Amino acid sequence: MATYVLIPGAGSDSWYWHRVAPLLRARGHDVVTPDLPCEDETAGLAEYTEVVLEAIGDRRDLVLVAQSMAGFTAPLVCARVPVELMVLVAAMVPAPGESPGDWWANTGQPAARRELDVSEGRDPDAEFDPGVTFLHDLPEDVAAALMARPVLNQAEAPFRKPWPLPSWPQVPTKFLLCRQDRFFPADFQRRVVQERLGFAPDEMDGGHLPALARPQELVEHLEAYRICNHAESGS
């Protein structure tokens, strides 16, 4: 079976995957959920990559799953160890030489998010509310548990330096967007993925945090990707 490496997004930790990891383990897979040093102002993408590599150790048959900002880290892991499959979920897609801090303006994310807010009747100039942006489709108990957890303050360090790869790694890659994502709107993601990866993303219902909102559906997508990749590779 596979080793799933589940990498969280900005200001998040392994708890984000707590509804997904048991479902994958129940199917016989090994699951690695590293905690990135997201609050450390001395830690950038290089340090995030090292943390993931240390968590992987000598495991093989790797399936990397990258949530949101982890789209910058997962390809760096692929450049260091053999990876069978990379799955980007509601993720940022970097371009060579682009820093995570520059990604927002380069891709047009702020304008896309503003347009979506206006079209759906939300005030685009309202103070940021994580409940509105991230928790709108979570079960009430899951949302409450998330809000009760200590807040992780995402450091700025990883946003400053350019993404160091000269091109996307030669690893089978899938992208799964969420149709009701209020942070990275679906139309925006369709354009960015096509422009930067050269293929159309797959889609599922839900907002920006599918591992919390729809863990079973997410696992079904991950397993379908893994099985298809296994068949295509003949391994």
Alpha carbon separation from 84 to 11, 56, 170, 185, 198 (Å, rounded): 27, 14, 10, 28, 19
Structure tokens at 231: 């068949």
3-state secondary structure 49-81: HHHHHHHHCCCCCEEEEEEHHHHCCHHHHHCCC
Is 60 exceeded by the pLDDT of residue 49? yes
Q: In the chain, what are the domains?
A: 3-233 (3.40.50.1820)
pLDDT bin (cut points 50, 70, 90) of residue 235 is low
pLDDT on residue 12? 96
Alpha carbon separation from 31 to 26, 209, 212 (Å, rounded): 10, 19, 17
| CB-based burial, 72-109: b 16+ in 10 Å, e otherwise | bbbbbbbeebebbbbbbbbbbbbbeebbbebbeeebeb
Distance CA 215, CA 21 (A): 9
Mean pLDDT, the chain, whole residue set: 97
CB 32 within 8 A of CB 59: yes
User: Which position has the higher pLDDT, 90 or 230?
Assistant: 90
* C-alpha dihedral sign at 207, 210, 214, 217: positive
Rg (CA), the chain: 17
Q: Where are the alpha helices (DSSP H) in 40-185?
A: 45-56, 74-78, 100-107, 109-119, 130-133, 140-148
Averaged pLDDT, 153-168: 96
pLDDT on residue 233? 81
| CB-based burial, 124-148: b 16+ in 10 Å, e otherwise | eeeeeeeeebbbbbbeeebbeebee
Is 70 exceeded by the pLDDT of residue 91? yes
Structure tokens at 41: 């102002």
Q: Torsion over CA of 209, 180, 216 and 132, rounded to 10 degrees?
A: 40
Question: What amino acid occupies position 197?
Answer: L
Alpha carbon separation from 119 to 8, 18, 30, 188, 215 (Å, rounded): 29, 33, 42, 14, 28
Averaged pLDDT, 182-191: 98
CA angle 19, 30, 231 (to 5 degrees): 105
Averaged pLDDT, 162-184: 97
**Residue with structure tokens 């979506």?**
116
